Structure formats: structure tokens, C-alpha cells
Amino acid sequence: MLGRLITALLWRPYELACRRFPLVPLRATVTPLNEHVEMIRIENAVTRAITWLGGGYDYSVSYLIDRTLLIDTGFPWARRSLRRTLLELGANNTLTAVVNTHHHEDHIGNNDLIGELCDAPIFAHRLAVGDIRHPSELPWYRRFMFGPLTASPVQQVPAYIETAQCRLDVHHMPGHSDDHICLFEPDRGWLFSGDLYVAAEIDSQLSDVDGPAWIRSLEHAMRLAPRAMYDSHGMIVEGEDAVMQTLQRKHVFLVRLRDAINQAAIGTASVREITRTVFGSKGFVDTVSFSDGWLSLLTASDFSRSNVVRSFLRVQSHVGEAAELA
């Protein structure tokens, strides 16, 4: 009760103030990628440190297509910088749609800003709609790093989104989360990949990860044969061969991880034991985290290797149950 009172009286007003006046100033950079696509990157010393430590996360990259479609709205602390950038680009007068690639706070954090600037509808996968309309309280470290989530109106994304010059097909590619989508422009071969990739060998994830689905989604993406990949954390890959190699690296990593987990899970073993067998104990951090990774120490196991292990074990369990019933 006391904690809730302190949060309501002190922390929440502080959060709201920091959305408008960040303690560590954020810098917005707009980079034209071609005649249709602009990348909006918002960062400061803190986000750069997180990127370096996290192995691929550059916290707030949005894509603006033909100045009418915005893909992802970034994390809440970036509100002031995103607002200024969209106004400078005149997007408040031109936006006709916003798409969230999934419900995580670094992708939907400024949906409420869109409602203040214009009347463009916000779209997401049907599985994300409830989480965006009625967001849950974030763990402390995510609120500290990204800021507070606010509820925002959202609609189920249609099969495709059109701008004046482009048509982007919506592809459900779960794995990073069950509501994850990518957008693909088939004529130009652009894949707006959300968090499909992020980095090849990130082995820690949130509890909504689904390793087997992630493998299938990477295979789905490779079948599209994209000629450019625009990642939601700032990585740009151009050229069909380069994109294919990038996706294959992630696919190979996850397949090897799956096989190692399945091998370690033969017989009876706890998730902790399987995690230790798969990832080993290579130093102090692995020892004190029971091989769950240093990120699990910082996040009280909210972001951990064992979440990935569990996601593969769930599928193995379902397969075992089906075999017994057959």
C-alpha cells in the first residue's frame, strides 16, 4: 500500500515530467534511406550504453514512408524529441497511418503523441490490440529505462497499408512476441522487420518469446527474398545476398540453440539445469546467474536465457503429449 502511494504521489509525476523534459537530453537524427523512406533515430548517452551492453538494441528507431506512414513510435522518454521531429517534417499534416510492429514499450511508447498531433489511426496485430489499449504495469527497470506506458486507441491492422507511392503487405512473424508483424514492400523488396532480427546471437529475451515460432518467421522472411531490411533498432542491410546472409545467421543461431536445448532436455531436468548445460558456466556472471546471463541479474530474470529455454521446452512438451495420445 505504501509503495503504491509513493508511486502515485512521487514517481508518476516525475515520469510525466521526464517525458517532456528528459534528464539526459535526447538527440533526434533523420536519415533519408531512399526517396520514400526516412529513419528517425532518437538516442542519448544512456541509450547508446544500452545498445553496447544489450548487443543490438538502439532504443528508438521509427520509419517514415512517404511522410504518410509511421512504423513504430519509440519509447516514452523520447516523446519530446519525436514530437519536435514530426512537426519539423510536417508529418502532423501528412500522416495517414501508424503501425506498431508489436506491443513492447519501445515500439508503442508515443502512441498517445500521435493522437495529439493528428487523427491518423494506429494499427497493430489483433493479438497486440488488448495490450496497447490496456497496458499492464511495466517492471521497474523497464519503466526506468523507457518511461511509463499510456493507453492508446488502436485498430487491427489490415492485410496491407498503402501510401501515395508504396504498398506494404503485413506479415505476421511471431517469435520475439506472439503479436509481432513485419511489413514488406514487394515491388521494391523492402522488409521493415521490427524485432525479427535485432542481433544474430541475443540469447536472452522476455517471457513472451517463442523460439520455434521465431525460427519459422525467419524462414518466412527468407522466402520473401527481401532486397533491403530495415530493423526497428537501427540496423540497415541492403542487397538481397546481404539480407539473406543476415537472416540466415539468426536462423542458424536459433536452430543450434533449439537442438542443444532438446538434447539437454532428454530425460528429466529442471529449466535451470538445462540452461546451465546449454550455455555453460564461463565466468563469474554465469556462476551467480546460474548461467542465465548478466541481463537476468539486472532485470530480476525478466529478461533471461531461461525464457528462451522454456519457449523451446513448451513445444517439446506439446509434442510429447500428442505422441502419448496417439
Amino acid (1-letter code) at residue 246: T
Average pLDDT, integer, range 16-42: 84
313 and 274 in contact (C-beta within 8 Å)? Answer: yes
Range with lowest mean pLDDT among 3-7, 64-68, 164-168: 3-7
Range with lowest mean pLDDT among 111-115, 134-138, 220-224: 134-138
63 and 42 in contact (C-beta within 8 Å)? Answer: no
R_g of the chain, CA atoms, integer Å = 20
Range with lowest mean pLDDT among 26-35, 163-172, 317-326: 317-326
Neighbours of 80 (CB within 10 A): 19
Range with lowest mean pLDDT among 67-71, 124-128, 135-139: 135-139
Question: Does the domain formed by 14-164 have CATH 3.90.226.10?
Answer: no
Q: What is the 3-state secondary structure (H, E, C) of 236-269?
A: EEECHHHHHHHHHHHHHHHHHHHHHHHHHCCCCC
* Sheet of 69-71, strands arranged across: 27-32, 37-43, 61-65, 69-71, 97-99, 122-124, 155-156
pLDDT score of 2: 53
Give the pairing of strands 61-65 and 69-71. antiparallel
Pick from 246, 167, 233: which is nearest to 200 by CA? Answer: 246
Instruction: Tell me the average pLDDT of the chain.
Output: 87
Residue where the block lists cell 523488396: 189
pLDDT score of 325: 34
Pick from 158, 108, 116: which is nearest to 133 by CA? Answer: 108
What is the Cα–Cα distance from 271 to 285, expressed in whole angstroms? 18
Neighbours of 312 (CB within 10 A): 24
C-alpha cell read off for 313: 521446452
313 has pLDDT over 60? yes
Q: Which residue has the higher pLDDT, 185 or 54?
A: 185
Give the pLDDT confidence of 57-116 residue by residue, as tens digits.
666 799 999 999 999 999 998 999 999 999 999 999 999 999 999 999 999 999 999 999
pLDDT score of 324: 39
What predicted TM-score, i.e. pTM, was given to this entire model? Answer: 0.88
What is the Cα–Cα distance from 181 to 124, expressed in whole angstroms? 8
Pick from 77, 2, 94: which is nearest to 43 by CA? Answer: 77
Give the pLDDT confidence of 250-288 residue by residue, as tens digits.
999 999 999 999 999 998 889 999 998 998 877 766 666
C-alpha cell read off for 119: 487523427
pLDDT band at 24 (very low <50, low <70, confident <90, very high): low
Q: What is the 3-state secondary structure (H, E, C) of the chain?
A: CHHHHHHHHHHHHHHHHHHHCCCCCCEEEEEECCCCEEEEEEECHHHHHHHHHHCCCCCCEEEEECCCEEECCCCHHHHHHHHHHHHHHCHHHHCCEEECCCCCHHHHCCHHHHHHHCCCCEEECHHHHHHHHCCCCCCHHHHHHHCCCCCCCCEECCCEEECCCCEEEEEECCCCCCCCEEEEECCCCEEEEECCCCCCCCCCECCCCCHHHHHHHHHHHHHCCCCEEEECCCCEEECHHHHHHHHHHHHHHHHHHHHHHHHHCCCCCCHHHHHHHHHCCCCHHHHHCCCCCHHHHHCCCCCEHHHHHHHHHHHHHHHHHHHHHC
